């Protein structure tokens, strides 16, 4: 319960300014695009870069989290986070909630509200992503186990979360274990994409890698602007957003290499489907 109160304070707290936005919700636009994932793949940077573009009008915050945490609210509550039609003019608007890709029921919720929305899917080499999430959980006090021990404990933790939510009626997407300690599950990209592919046309997705965004930011962002139908733009990409990297220990590196082998088949499937590839894998 305390964890859920913290989430509400961070993402859903009420303010007089938001009250005005809510009152004018009928005049506001739903998003033209969503950055739906994945966590610890650079979605904060991608969204911050896109907000520089003169043809993009940003949301009130990067992560609105309507479909995973606040779908009990009205659609007007969601609209309140976006510009008015007048403010938007000929511009596009969108938000970036990386948790959207992870919870399978969210694809249906998005499709019911915005069947024609475009989606940007930013993915990272999965073993590196898992370790980055683990370190993030450690820094925030949500993880006390070593990396290998946390990976071993994950199936039990997630099963306990599912059972608890079934008994209590709590949304799985608000359970602490599922949000904070899903290191392997969040890196199994094919499992997460299947519900989306069952509802949306493939042309509604643009797939990108965080490695390309970091090494070739202008070229990668040009793919995004072309996909969204925007004019070319030279983005300032010198500032890193939400980055807190650390060199893994030798024990952690052993676990990372083990995970790479574990993810190999899934990565090959992803490459065949989307064309994405990651440096540690050579797909034949």
Please report the DSSP string for 124-146 in residue order.
Answer: --HHHHHHHHHHHHHHTTS--S-
Quick one: CA dihedral 215, 43, 256, 195, positive or negative? Answer: negative
List of domains in the chain: 32-274 (3.40.50.300)
Q: What is the pLDDT of residues 207-254, one digit of tens each?
A: 999 999 999 999 999 999 999 999 999 999 987 666 656 688 888 899
Q: Is 152 helix (H, G, I), strand (E, B) or coil?
A: helix
The token pair that represents 80 in the structure block: 């309140």
Query: pLDDT tens digits, residue range 97-148?
Result: 999 999 999 999 999 999 999 999 999 999 999 999 999 999 999 999 999 9
What does the alpha-carbon distance between residue 42 and residue 214 come to, in Å, rounded to a whole number? 9
Quote the CA–CA distance of 72 and 90 in Å, as a whole number: 31
* Residues 248-283 pLDDT 10s: 888 889 999 999 999 999 999 999 999 898 865 543
Instruction: Read off the pLDDT of residues 6-32 as tens digits, 9 standing for 90 and up.
Output: 455 455 555 677 888 989 999 999 999
Task: Tell me the C-alpha to C-alpha distance, in Å, between residue 219 and each of 45, 110, 147.
Answer: 15, 29, 34
pLDDT at 192: 96
Residue 11, pLDDT score: 54
Determine whether 8 is exposed, middle or buried from the number of CB atoms within 10 Å of its CB (0-12, 13-18, 19+): middle
Contacts of 84 (CB under 8 A, 6+ apart): 24, 27, 28, 29
What pLDDT does residue 87 have?
84
Pull the structure tokens for residue 229: 């139908």
pTM of whole model > 0.95? no
- What is residue 66's three-state secondary structure? coil
The pLDDT assigned to 278 comes to 84
Residues 6+ apart with CB under 8 A from 249: none
């Amino acid at each position: 319960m305390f964890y859920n109160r913290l989430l509400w304070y961070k993402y859903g707290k009420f303010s007089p300014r938001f009250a005005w936005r809510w009152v004018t919700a009928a005049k506001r636009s739903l998003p033209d695009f969503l950055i739906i994932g994945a966590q610890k793949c650079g979605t904060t940077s991608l969204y911050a870069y896109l907000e520089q573009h003169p043809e993009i009008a940003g949301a009130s915050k990067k992560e609105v989290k309507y479909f995973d945490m606040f779908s009990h609210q009205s659609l007007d509550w969601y609209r309140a986070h976006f510009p008015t039609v007048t403010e938007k003019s000929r511009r596009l608007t969108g938000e970036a909630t990386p948790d959207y890709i992870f919870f399978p029921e969210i694809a249906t919720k998005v499709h019911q509200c915005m069947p024609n929305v475009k989606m940007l899917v930013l993915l990272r080499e999965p073993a590196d992503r898992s370790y980055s999430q683990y370190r993030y959980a450690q820094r925030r006090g949500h993880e006390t186990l070593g990396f290998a021990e946390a990976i071993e404990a994950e199936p039990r933790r997630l099963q306990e979360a599912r059972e608890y939510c079934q008994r209590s009626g709590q949304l799985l997407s608000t359970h602490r274990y599922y949000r904070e300690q899903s290191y392997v599950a969040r890196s199994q990209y094919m499992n997460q994409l299947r519900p989306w592919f069952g509802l949306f046309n493939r042309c509604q997705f643009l797939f990108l890698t965080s490695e390309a965004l970091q090494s070739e930011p202008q070229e990668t962002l040009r793919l995004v602007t072309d996909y969204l139908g925007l004019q070319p733009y030279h983005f300032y990409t010198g500032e890193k957003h939400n980055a807190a990297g650390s060199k893994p220990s030798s024990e952690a590196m052993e676990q990372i290499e083990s995970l790479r082998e574990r993810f190999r088949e899934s990565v090959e499937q992803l490459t065949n489907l989307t064309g994405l590839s990651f440096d540690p894998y050579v797909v034949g």
